[in-house]
């Protein structure tokens, strides 16, 4: 049996009284014609006295956020998706019966108002109510105005209340779709086609990550929720689509922290006849387009840094970046024993499956370089051991044609000159199986259908993956991924 607070019981009693008046306490369709922000923008600069000769009206609807009930006249504020606007209501304008109905309203109720636009002596654009419509009775009270949802966990769990109470949260909620729409428009103009690929797969491929598993009852088959978008999109290059991208949810069975959520939005794009340089140019231009078209600025505060997206962005190889920080030159060929000795001297722990020169180079990068890449930086030239799907560099096959975009010490994109040699690709898959046997739970399976697709011939191509949530964190200047997800994954209470 649910227990209700005294205020909740009073609200339920009011709902019954509304029903006895022949009204539905939970409302029906209402013909709204105007929004709060539009009204304020249109009339804000008009002087108070000018309204005496005007007869402009508006019909608005929204949630009551403030009430100052007086005798025969009152003020209240309603809030719609665009903002808030003040309403003046008088018994002389709406009649005793409607005014009595209004006086039973509570903060949180949803109402409709038709009235004349006016301005108070204090200069606030206001609607003088001529018709008042009760729409929805709120049975639970909103948090107090000045205390609100101070428990951050509760803000995420009850996002609907957070959106009601916090304008900053609502701003993020509305701007994120604008960012994604800008990306789609940008990609369309570059000649890309947006596609959809399967979420369920019987193979673990496309990235290094632990998966979520599920079961298909009809086929009696265990399946994975996808950890990446890559291999189906590259099959489309084989099929001749040439320039494709997808923005979709992927799922990785990993921990939760300010940078990670188990389900997140990934964008991957593949362009036939392009390469690493093409992906760098595409990325820099896309970020700058979002900055200009959605936000109108190039500078953002993120993770304690002032980030400037104005180009050109820095481009540096992984081994050169390590040399800048440590003096160690991994361009010079080293044996595994020499690399292990360097790791030991620098207190770098090496797991069993990481005992290769390439993995050790990456460990040096993670310890000494990653956090130093503050302004947008394309870091390229990764060891072949950590890049199983990437084309080898023709001048030095120890490394691959891959880059990661780093901003404020965090990875924002991962790009490749795509591996289209089916023989090399199969050998890389087989190496991944060896790593899995050595304990790497994130190693890939062998996708023989993908190998067969490559055997039909995939054009040379550039490919890239973007973490859309982290991209939104930068542009919206938020420090936690939970602040740019409407419904982040939460622990059970």
- Taking only the tens of pLDDT, the chain with its 493 residues reads 789 999 999 999 999 999 999 999 999 999 999 999 999 999 999 999 999 889 999 999 999 999 999 889 999 999 999 999 999 999 999 999 999 999 999 999 999 999 999 999 999 999 999 999 999 999 999 987 534 455 788 889 999 999 999 999 999 999 999 999 999 999 999 999 999 999 999 888 777 788 999 999 999 999 999 999 999 999 999 999 999 999 999 999 988 888 899 999 999 999 999 999 999 999 999 999 999 999 999 999 999 999 999 989 999 999 999 999 999 999 999 999 999 999 999 999 999 989 999 999 999 999 999 999 999 999 999 999 888 767 889 999 999 999 999 999 999 999 999 989 999 899 888 887 887 777 776 677 788 999 999 999 999 999 999 999 999 999 999 999 999 999 999 988 7
Question: DSSP alpha helices (H): ranges in 327-421?
Answer: 336-345, 357-368
Which residue segment(s) compose the domain that 136 sits in? 6-142
- Of 414, 422, 355, the C-alpha closest to 380 is 414
Question: Is position 276 within any domain?
Answer: yes
> Is 58:39 a contact under the CB 8 Å cutoff?
yes
Would you say residue 341 lies in a domain? no
Backbone torsion region of residue 191, taken as left when φ is above 0, otherwise alpha when ψ lies between -120 and 50, otherwise beta: left
Examine the domain organization and report whether 292 and 404 are in the same domain. Answer: yes
Does any domain span residue 262?
yes
Is the distance from CB of 77 to CB of 87 less than 8 angstroms? yes
What sign does the dihedral 254-260-262-265 (CA atoms) show?
A: negative
59 within some domain? yes
Residue 274 · residue 463 · CB < 8 Å? no
CATH number at residue 44: 2.40.50.140
Please tell me whether residues 228 and 100 are part of one structural domain. no
CA-nearest of 264, 183, 269, 261 to 226 is 264
Tell me the chain's radius of gyration from C-alpha atoms: 29
Positive or negative, the CA dihedral 197, 199, 203, 208 is positive
In the chain, what is the greatest distance between 2 CA atoms, to the nearest angstrom? 91
**Residues 238 and 183 occupy one common structural domain:** yes
Whether residues 238 and 99 fall in one domain: no
| Helix or strand holding residue 415 (H, E) | strand 410-417
CB 429 within 8 A of CB 388: yes
| Whether 243 and 381 share a structural domain | yes
Q: Is residue 103 part of a domain?
A: yes
Tell me whether residue 144 is exposed, middle or buried, using C-beta atoms within 10 angstroms of its C-beta: 0 to 12, 13 to 18, 19 or more.
Answer: exposed
Domain match, 222 and 274 both: yes
Answer whether residue 383 is part of any domain: yes
Looking at the structure, do residues 200 and 115 belong to the same domain, yes or no?
Answer: no
User: Is 323 part of a structural domain of the chain?
Assistant: no
105 CB contacts (<8 Å, ≥6 apart)? 64, 67, 76, 111, 134
CATH code, domain carrying 438: 3.30.930.10
Residue 184's closest CA among 129, 242, 246, 256? 246
Please classify residue 235 by burial: count the beta carbons closer than 10 Å to its beta carbon, then call 0-12 exposed, 13-18 middle and 19+ buried: buried
pTM of the predicted protein model: 0.91
Same-domain pairing of 172 and 92: no
CB 317 within 8 A of CB 361: no
- Residue 145: the pLDDT is 54
Last residue of a domain, one of 142, 173, 196: 142
In a shared domain, residues 129 and 204:
no
Question: E-assigned strands of 137-227?
Answer: 193-194, 200-201, 213-216, 221-225
Q: Both 124 and 174 in a single domain?
A: no
* 346, part of any domain: no
Domain count, the chain: 2
Query: 196-204 contacts: CB < 8 A, separation 24 or more?
Result: 196/246, 196/248, 197/226, 197/229, 197/232, 197/233, 197/246, 197/248, 198/226, 198/232, 199/225, 199/226, 199/248, 199/249, 200/224, 200/225, 200/226, 201/226, 203/445, 203/446, 203/447, 204/444, 204/445
- Both 129 and 172 in one domain: the answer is no
Neighbours of 208 (CB within 10 A): 19
What angle do helix axes 422-437 and 448-455 make, rounded to 10 degrees? 160
Q: Is the peptide bond before 312 cis (omega within 30 degrees of 0)?
A: yes
Neighbours of 243 (CB within 10 A): 18
Whether residue 424 is found in the same domain as residue 278: yes
List the end-to-end C-alpha distance of the chain, in Å, as a whole number.
19
């Amino acid at each position: 049996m649910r227990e209700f607070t005294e205020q909740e019981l009073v609200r339920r009693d009011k709902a019954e009284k509304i029903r006895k008046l022949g009204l539905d306490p939970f409302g029906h369709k209402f013909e709204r014609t105007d929004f709060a922000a539009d009204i304020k923008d249109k009339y804000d600069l008009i002087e108070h006295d000018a309204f005496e000769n005007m007869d402009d009206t508006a019909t608005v609807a929204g949630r009551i956020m403030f009430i100052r009930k007086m005798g025969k006249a009152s003020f209240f504020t309603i809030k719609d998706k665009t903002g808030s606007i003040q309403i003046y209501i008088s018994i002389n304008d709406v009649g005793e019966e409607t005014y009595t109905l209004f006086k039973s309203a509570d903060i949180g109720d949803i109402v409709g108002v038709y009235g004349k636009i006016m301005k108070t002596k204090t200069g606030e654009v206001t609607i003088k109510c001529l018709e008042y419509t009760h729409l929805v009775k709120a049975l639970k009270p909103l948090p107090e105005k000045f205390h609100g949802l101070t428990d951050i966990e509760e803000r995420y769990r009850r996002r609907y209340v957070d959106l009601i109470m916090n304008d900053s949260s609502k701003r993020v909620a509305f701007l994120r779709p604008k960012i994604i729409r800008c990306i789609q428009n940008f990609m369309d103009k570059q000649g890309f086609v947006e596609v959809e690929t399967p979420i369920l797969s019987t193979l673990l491929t496309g990235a290094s990550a632990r998966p979520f598993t599920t079961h298909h009852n009809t086929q009696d088959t265990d399946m994975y929720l996808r950890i990446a978008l890559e291999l189906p999109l590259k099959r489309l290059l084989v099929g001749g689509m040439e320039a494709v991208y997808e923005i979709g949810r992927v799922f990785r069975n990993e921990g939760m922290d300010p940078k990670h959520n188990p389900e997140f939005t990934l964008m991957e794009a593949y362009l036939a006849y392009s390469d690493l340089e093409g992906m760098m140019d595409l990325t820099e231009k896309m970020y700058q387009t979002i900055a200009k078209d959605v936000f109108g600025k190039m500078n953002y505060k993120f993770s304690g840094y002032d980030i400037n997206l104005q180009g050109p962005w820095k481009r540096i190889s992984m081994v050169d970046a390590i040399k800048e920080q440590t003096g160690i030159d991994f361009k010079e060929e080293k044996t595994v024993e020499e690399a292990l000795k360097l790791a030991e001297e620098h207190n770098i722990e090496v797991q069993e499956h990481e005992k290769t020169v390439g993995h050790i180079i990456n460990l040096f990068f993670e310890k000494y370089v990653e956090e130093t890449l503050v302004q947008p930086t394309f870091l390229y030239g990764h060891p072949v051991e950590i890049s199983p799907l990437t084309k080898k560099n023709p001048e030095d096959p120890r490394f691959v044609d891959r880059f990661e975009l780093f901003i404020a010490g965090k990875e924002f994109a991962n790009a490749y000159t795509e591996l289209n040699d089916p023989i090399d690709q199969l050998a890389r898959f087989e190496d991944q199986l060896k790593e899995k046997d050595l304990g790497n739970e994130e190693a890939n399976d062998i996708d023989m259908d993908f190998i067969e697709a490559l055997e039909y011939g995939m054009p040379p191509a550039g490919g890239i993956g973007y973490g859309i949530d982290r991209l939104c964190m930068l542009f919206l200047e938020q420090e936690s991924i939970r602040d740019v997800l409407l419904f982040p994954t939460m622990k059970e209470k």
